[in-house]
Structure 1
């Protein structure tokens, strides 16, 4: 039934099995549905590195009603898309399709989530696929350095592990491990069904009751290991590469922190996607010493990680590092002026509005918000949160997280320069 979380532009409800749902009706010929689960690589045991991602692959290998081919064809035959992805703390299965196929897509997603068989014969093949994926990832140092930075600051904690797993862990997975992990973590009362498309909330709720209400799981829920203390470390690692790569950063804010919006604004100002971010203007454009430079912020349920990535020539790496540290120092020591601060807030709100133009991205954002906070803000409410951030608040956050004594550093340097 619809509850008090109803907003003018979307409706939220809960099914009898505890599954929360959210739907936003839009004037579009397409629809987007996702099942979001609060489980990821962080929830793996000591001998399960990469298991959550491995399961994501196996979900499409057959159910009690369909073979793998029929799963893929069910959506792709009508021009749609079916996919999934795994994060540190979440897994998402989703489908995009024409509106007349809403029921087809929802029935398929819940057939997969409830009836996946994980065929024994498919397990060795999917292990090989993921091992190839790991090899491909290693060929991209600009991506690999992020995972190695996680390992540097989080150590042996699951947050420090590679989502893909390792060459040692993936070959050891068994069907029993897969089934036990799914039974423990894939639960309707923890999940969210999210939708954006051209049908009414009442139509969507009827479909959800038809296809999702039978999903039930019994047994205890596993506890999540608490976040570790973020380590401070500096390493330079020689690699067989031509360009040098740098990530520096440290502990950020968790997703429930009161200053989360200020942290998001600070990160966007420092090195967000706009070409006029501080890092891009003052390092790439002014000095021309970084082919790519950006900052990032990953908030988790009980911790967070911020950082700056730069790819540059080996001869200019030290200079690039110094310039980044100078930008961090200025944000700590100098409060933004009124004009500059208002421009930063306006920019972030504009980016937020543009992001909502993508219905598939909006579907994911609505579902993640409901899953994480058990509420969803309208755009007006999000804009108000941004607007109420003050320069003093931004500077306070900068002093907390940009403390030089708490910053870790990882460099990939060409072998010949070591």
Structure 2
């Protein structure tokens, strides 16, 4: 009891002294009472802009650009190894391969789709997928495989001290897969389910992506489908898959990239598992046959591809999606090696767009042209988004619009007028904002280690070097309004590629769209309607 009384008396004395000190500071200080603290009398006597007397001078860190420089080594078999240091205990490593659906001209379309689903299955050193995943889990790792029109990427992120084990695993699943008949049959089921799911889900973007590529490069290279056509599911077998692997997964077409690793350690692991250990098809000559790789350059054709489809019931329930018809208009742009590539990227950011229900700041596109001039003006437009798809030898710049089928003709007219308007009346504020947004997006994306890995692998694969982000920032800043006008006119000089999906009875004719792109206002005559007769 006596101790509690002492604590109470001591607490009261402390509070009294505190109030006395605070009141003295308040009387002597010119600052508001709310800004005063108990030790403010000392703080007011200390300058924030001059060094503190008696303390040693501060030592500040300086950025070392050489610490993050990319290093590239070519091994004896032609495989390239690229690395970049990065702070942290984790790394991202994998291979980027010059393969994909554009090289399937001599194969049933869908081989890349199958191989993507068969990735990280059983291999020579790993009996099944479970053993592969268990091996990665020992190092806190995850893995993934993605195929595009022109590349295959096998990658894993794990602790840096497990680099050797991760490289061994990636080399095994890429160069020494088993691809058993059971795994092929399972892949058939997965592909079938994926195709069925794509047809019933509200998001039709993957199908539209296939359609616009098929319209832009009809029956050649980039126009070949990435998704396996239903009629080819039973045609693709183990022999076909190994033939594709033997022909395209060769060392000179592969880049082994790593971010957050020591270059010497990566080269040593690559020598061990990619050079000294041979691919399974070299050890067993009966696995597939060797075919010449298609060297064709993408030939842009333009044209119209439509797919009539009932989308009235793709999203039922208490908050169903409205029935939509989709229209995509594309014009030939440039490859990512072209001098105008950066200008097209700025133009893409300037047009921007999105869905009518999107929310967010400038990064979400609220101040882009397709928002301010389309979505904010036409309430019946459900979507208006610009895309620029660039590859090693060609590209397509397109705008996707969606609305109720009864408004599809108006959607086409709005989009053609936006294409025509690109070549004039460019607001300076919008233009400068687009460049800043592109620069910030580039830098923010490169804060993610997997993005740096993919950027490193792709650049080394297609150009042999990796350009630093600072170079792209400088090039973006150097783009002028005249550059935008010039590339916009270059777009309008090409033949339109058109993809449409849904109820298309009100779709304008291809000829009417071409005429609108050549007119001054870009408007399509309402008398023009699509017909099969």
Does the alignment reach a TM-score above 0.5?
yes
d(CA) in 2 for partners of 1:99 and 1:8? 16
CA 1:91–1:282: 2 relative to 1, 3 Å: same
**1:368 is aligned to 2:428:** no
d(CA) in 1 for partners of 2:337 and 2:378? 38
Q: Which residue of structure 1 aligns with residue 268 of structure 2?
A: 206
CA 1:354–1:415: 2 relative to 1, 3 Å: same
Contact 2:214–2:305 (CA<8 Å) still a contact in 1? no
> Equivalences for 1:167-206 in 2 at 5 Å?
167-197=230-260, 199-206=261-268
Runs of 4+ in structure 1 over 6 Å off: 217-220, 415-418
1:312-363 per-position Cα deviation (integer Å, ceiling 9, x unaligned): 23344333332222222221133x3554433322221111000101111111
Contact 1:292–1:311 (CA<8 Å) still a contact in 2? yes
CA shift, 1:47, in A, is 4.1
Contact 2:401–2:415 (CA<8 Å) still a contact in 1? no
Larger RCO (CA within 8 A; separation ≥ 6): 1
Gaps of 5+ in 1: 1-5
Q: Which residue of structure 2 aligns with residue 287 of structure 1?
A: 378
d(CA) in 1 for partners of 2:485 and 2:471? 23
Stretch of structure 1 that moved more, 181-190 or 20-29 = 20-29
**1:410 is aligned to 2:481:** no
d(CA) in 1 for partners of 2:99 and 2:433? 37
Contact 1:279–1:324 (CA<8 Å) still a contact in 2? no
**1:232 is aligned to 2:303:** yes
d(CA) in 2 for partners of 1:90 and 1:399? 30
Q: Which residue of structure 2 aligns with residue 278 of structure 1?
A: 369
Other structure's SS at 1:248 match: strand
Gaps of 5+ in 2: 1-65, 283-289, 313-322, 354-363, 508-533
CA shift, 1:195, in A, is 1.3
CA shift, 1:228, in A, is 2.6
CA shift, 1:181, in A, is 1.0
CA 1:144–1:220: 2 relative to 1, 3 Å: closer
Q: Which residue of structure 1 aligns with residue 340 of structure 2?
A: 259
d(CA) in 1 for partners of 2:185 and 2:308? 33
Contact 1:40–1:90 (CA<8 Å) still a contact in 2? yes
d(CA) in 2 for partners of 1:412 and 1:223? 31
RMSD of the TM alignment (CA)?
2.5
Contact 1:22–1:193 (CA<8 Å) still a contact in 2? yes
Q: Which residue of structure 2 aligns with residue 3 of structure 1?
A: none
2:488 to 373, 376, 398: 398
Larger radius of gyration: 2
Q: TM-score, normalised by structure 2?
A: 0.71
Contact 2:99–2:151 (CA<8 Å) still a contact in 1? yes
Other structure's SS at 2:253 match: coil
Q: Which residue of structure 1 aligns with residue 395 of structure 2?
A: 304
Contact 2:325–2:504 (CA<8 Å) still a contact in 1? no
2:126 to 47, 61, 66: 66
1:45 to 105, 110, 115: 105
Contact 2:336–2:391 (CA<8 Å) still a contact in 1? yes
CA shift, 1:308, in A, is 0.9
